[in-house]
Structure 1
Amino acid sequence: MRTRLSTQERREQLLTIGAGLFASRPYDEVWIEEVAEIAQVSRGLLYHYFPTKKEFFLEIVRSQRDQLLEMSEPDPALPVAEQLRAGLDVYLEFARTHPDGYRVVHRAAAGADREVLRIREAGMAANAERILTALGALTTVTETTRVAVRGWLAFVATVILDWLDQPKITQAELRDLCVRTLFSAVDVTP
């Protein structure tokens, strides 16, 4: 029996189903018909929300990125190290509770086309800017600092993916590793 959902609820349901499928299989192996079947809606309804499979995938990546950015908005009243820890806690909790969405943004999107890479890059740039702004309270931000922060963001994405696949350390241990790595990379003592 099909469940009646509001337009927004149905859209979110489709995005959640899609995130799960795209996180576990390559893009070419995900079929719109399967998404519609799981959601118990017609293929036509899914195409009403998302005109093409590519648009559907782009919206999944965009919505996961936006949700994570919103949740991890820093509190400038906190000391820099605490801002970083709080942001990492949000990222790690999001990855733990939304592993499919996290994998779509950071793994499936890595081999994707330019539009997907632009969405991912916008998220990375927003995070880099947040971190550089916070670090500006502790040190002069140079081009070397910028490069270190960008590299650190790639490191964090990689270690979180590894942790999701093989959670052999605690979430707190992973967070602390990431904090130490950033401050070491930018040569700052918090």
Structure 2
Amino acid sequence: MARGLINHYFGTKRELYLEIIRRALTVPRLAVEILPEGPLELRADVAIEWFLDMVTSQERMWLAAIAPEGIGRDLEVERILEEADRESADRVLEAVGLSRESEHGAQLNALVRAFGGMVKSAGREWLVRRSLTRAQVHLLLSKSLVTLVGEIFPAIQAEPPRGAPPAPRQGESG
């Protein structure tokens, strides 16, 4: 690519580099749009299959970005990684008809980011350590995602919103 094009579209080579990282690590809206109608198990299975295909196609970049030491100590890259985690969690919430803007959205987004930590660890077990197969990682992630969305999310949503007074206990008046 000609330097003039880089400067025109991105400003600098560094801005191009940062945009590549951002795009490689953020789950795009397309990933939500391609999910089939149907039960949660089918949607989770398709979502995890799409994710594993994406990781396979960008293996080196993905592994470098999720490594415990990251891509070096770069505050701007760390900010992009955090933003990518939040946006990717938002895509998961969108896929199940929820939003970070909902009553418990911040907690649900945090739960998905915690799930993302497991995703990254499972990816390293598969791609780096070779201690898990792709099929085993697929099974782990899809079953965990179904449990998260089908059981954990409803339990969190049943709690009173943060800052609300606790509900009276049985036998107490409100």
Q: What is the TM-score with the length of structure 2 in the denominator?
A: 0.62
Q: Quote the residue 2:137 is aligned against.
A: 174
1:47-79 per-residue CA deviation (whole Å, 9 max, x = no partner) reads: 86266563343133023235x525523426243
Classify 1:183/1:152 alpha carbon distance in 2 versus 1 (closer, same or farther; 3 Å): same
Q: Which has the higher helix share?
A: 1
Q: Quote the residue 2:119 is aligned against.
A: 156
RMSD value, Cα: 3.4
Classify 1:55/1:104 alpha carbon distance in 2 versus 1 (closer, same or farther; 3 Å): farther
Q: CA deviation at 1:165?
A: 0.4
- Do the aligned residues in 2 keep the contact of 1:135 with 1:141 (CA within 8 Å)? no
Amino acid corresponding to residue 74 of structure 2 in structure 1: D
Q: Per the alignment, in what secondary structure is the counterpart of residue 166 of structure 1?
A: coil
Distance in 2, Cα, partners of 1:177 & 1:135: 19
Distance in 1, Cα, partners of 2:74 & 2:15: 12
- Do the aligned residues in 2 keep the contact of 1:71 with 1:90 (CA within 8 Å)? no
Distance in 2, Cα, partners of 1:112 & 1:47: 29
Distance in 1, Cα, partners of 2:107 & 2:150: 10
Classify 1:99/1:106 alpha carbon distance in 2 versus 1 (closer, same or farther; 3 Å): same
Classify 1:124/1:180 alpha carbon distance in 2 versus 1 (closer, same or farther; 3 Å): same
Classify 1:146/1:70 alpha carbon distance in 2 versus 1 (closer, same or farther; 3 Å): closer
Distance in 1, Cα, partners of 2:110 & 2:53: 26
Distance in 1, Cα, partners of 2:132 & 2:47: 19
Written as runs of structure 1 = structure 2, the 5 A alignment for 1:1-190 is: 10=1, 49=6, 54-65=14-25, 68-69=27-28, 72-74=31-33, 75=35, 77-107=37-67, 109=70, 111-135=72-96, 142=104, 144-185=107-148, 188=151
Amino acid corresponding to residue 6 of structure 2 in structure 1: Y
The runs of at least 4 consecutive aligned structure 1 residues that moved more than 6 Å come to none
Residue ranges of structure 2 left out of the alignment (5+ in a row): 153-174
Question: In terms of mean alpha carbon deviation, does 117-126 or 68-77 score higher?
Answer: 68-77
Question: In terms of mean alpha carbon deviation, does 95-104 or 111-120 score higher?
Answer: 111-120
Amino acid corresponding to residue 113 of structure 1 in structure 2: D
Q: What is the TM-score with the length of structure 1 in the denominator?
A: 0.57
Q: Per the alignment, in what secondary structure is the counterpart of residue 28 of structure 2?
A: helix
Distance in 1, Cα, partners of 2:120 & 2:74: 19
- Do the aligned residues in 1 keep the contact of 2:92 with 2:112 (CA within 8 Å)? yes
- Do the aligned residues in 1 keep the contact of 2:45 with 2:142 (CA within 8 Å)? yes
Q: Quote the residue 2:158 is aligned against.
A: none
